[in-house]
Amino acid sequence: MLKKSILAFVVSLPAFAAPIAPFTLNFSQAGGPGSVSGTVLDTGLDFSYGLSVGPGGSLLFGQTTTTNPAGLVYGTGPQATGSAWQLPGLGNGAFGAPTQVAGSFAGMVTSVKSLSDGVMVVDSGAGAAGGTGTRTMSFVSPGGATIGSIAFTYPSAIAPSWEHSNGMSLVVPGAGATSTIYFIVGSAADQAPTTATVSVSGMGLNNVSLNGDSVYSMTVQSTSANSVQITSAPQQIATGLRNPFALSVNAAGDLLIGDNGIDGLHSPNELGADTLKLIPASQIGKSVVDFGFPNSYVNFATGQYVNGDPTATPPLVAFTPGADSNGVLQNGEGISAMAYLTPSEFSFVGNQGGVIATFHGNFDLGGTANYENAVFYYDFASGMLVPILDDQTPGVGHLDGVAVIGNNLFLEDMSTNGQVNEIGGLGQGAIYEFNLAQATPEPGTWLPGLSGLALMCLAQTCLAQRWRAQMWRARKAGGCGRQRP
């Protein structure tokens, strides 16, 4: 079924496309298939980012080109121009050739989402070095025309820069032609509360200021594929977040927030673990939920909770190092995207669903040099947190995008050679497809080849993770986070 998809891309690959090393995913610890091979859908992409599902089973993503020898410069994107792209679904499991839907966005494209009628929501730009900069949320018609835009202006008083100014949005369809857009305003510093505000303007928004360390929501309505308006102004729904660069919703409508942990001295890992946080659907917009940044966090190395703000809401789980099926600890740092899996989609998913979370890891490193870019699966019912792809995997740079269509999982590598702050990262992006509709292992055979000691260690790890999750849910304290880039 995928052969047509592969052939469709052969003619579209640039001459400078990097060789792609195959890799596999391992769901055996979750009771799923132990070796799922990937298929290359596209390669030779320029800093590909923001993978999502579009109309008709298409895949949307952004690309960014730059003439700066220093590449993206930690995501600020000087001399960078972004564009939004589509891999059109052909209705038979294959995809057509990649096509550019819109371009000429100033700065790096970090998020591409779709409203129900095909209007795209594109986040681009970032705060520049020195403290000033503008991020833009653009609404783009299916024909590629910008039909509305919102400018986020960062203050010049922040030195050396507003650290987490890149944009990330999530679109949740509502009744009729309405959609709720959740979007982030990250923290200005690594380990300090943000006191300055960001001003927004455009599409009827005037004299509106947004707080940092936050997630906001607003409602938009598309009256046609060429018209969109804001029907509910931005409302802050969460605070105490460092850089919540992964957003999703579960089957119950609860908002899931993947937040990036405090860097600290970062020798060799971050101080605060990246965390998964949850706001129940019934509480969204009722009050501003505080998750405790920077005073409350989970220590990455020890898994211990630092209860600096007892009034804050605790995280659901922390992405501390987890053992793979061989008992080797794997690191995930710099959560960049996540996808929710429903219980009905895959046999190994528990009755409350699960998420796949991806991590950027070491900023400019790839392959065996990137020791923090594992991919994790978390199951809500069991509290199980396990790596499905090891860090330091050859041929893998930064799997910063994830999407699910039916039984197929899609992963997007921003730069397979790992280079981001170097112009050598251009043309190194890739998108992969993994078919998870495979027979699960027989009971009692899901960890083949492990010794009794290794099995005992893995069981203890899993029990410890479940205990921590239960304790955090029971306590009234909060968490933290961080994003690369």
DSSP string, 105-162: EES-EEEEEE-TTS-EEEEEEEEPTTS-EEEEEEEE-TTS-EEEEEEEEE-TTSSS--
In this structure, are strands 275-279 and 317-318 parallel, antiparallel, or unpaired?
antiparallel
Query: Is the separation of the CB atoms in 250 and 354 below 8 Å?
Result: no
Q: What is the pLDDT of residue 22?
A: 75
In a domain, 483, yes or no: no
Q: Span 409-435, mean pLDDT?
A: 96
Rounded CA separation 74/135 (Å): 15
Strand partners, 385: 378
Model pLDDT, residue 127:
56
Domain contains 481: no
CA atoms within 13 A on the CB side of 15: 0
**What does the pLDDT read at residue 21?**
64
484 within domain boundaries? no
Higher pLDDT, 449 or 178: 178
List Cβ neighbours of 433 (8 Å cut-off, separation of 6 or more): 2, 5, 38, 39, 41, 408, 409, 410
Across 158-186, average pLDDT: 88
Report the pLDDT value the prediction gives residue 473, as an integer from 0 to 100: 35
> Which DSSP state fits 281?
G
**CATH code of the domain containing 39:** 2.120.10.30
Rounded to two decimals, the pTM is 0.87
* Average pLDDT, rounded, for the chain: 85
Contact 60, 86 (CB under 8 A): yes
Q: Is 462 helix (H, G, I), strand (E, B) or coil?
A: helix
pLDDT of 484 strictly over 80:
no
CA angle (172 as vertex; 170, 175 as ends), nearest 5: 155
Q: Is the pLDDT of residue 4 over 80?
A: no
Name residues whose C-beta falls within 8 Å of residue 175's C-beta, 6 or more positions apart in sequence: none
What pLDDT does 466 receive? 38
SS3 state of residue 36: strand
Write down the pLDDT at residue 133. Answer: 66
Judged against a pLDDT cut of 60, whether residue 477 lies above it is answered with no
Does residue 272 form part of some domain?
Answer: yes
pLDDT at 128: 55
Kind and range of the H or E run holding 460: helix 452-474
Give me the pLDDT at residue 391, please.
Answer: 98
pLDDT of 14 over the 80 cut: no
In the predicted structure, residue 326 carries a pLDDT above the cut 60: yes
Q: Which pLDDT score, from 0 to 100, does residue 117 have?
A: 87
- The answer to the question of residue 52 being in a domain is yes
pLDDT for 160 beyond 90: no
- 485 in any annotated domain: no
For residues 379 and 128, which has the higher predicted lDDT (pLDDT)?
379
Would you say residue 465 has pLDDT above 70? no
| Mean pLDDT lowest among 63-77, 170-184, 361-375, 471-485 | 471-485
Share of the chain above pLDDT 90, in %: 73
Average pLDDT over residues 433-458: 46
- Chain centroid, CA 252 distance in Å: 20
Q: What pLDDT, on the 0 to 100 scale, is given for residue 258? A: 98
| Number of structural domains the chain divides into | 1
Whole domain around residue 122: which residue ranges?
A: 3-17+26-474
76 lies in some domain: yes
3-state secondary structure of 473: helix
pLDDT on residue 157? 61
Nearest to 129 by CA among 101, 105, 95, 165: 165
pLDDT at 187: 95
Instruction: Judge whether 416 lies within some domain.
Output: yes
Please report, for residues 84, 108, 115, 278, the alpha-carbon distance to residue 182 in angstroms, rounded to integers and kept in the order given. 19, 19, 13, 14
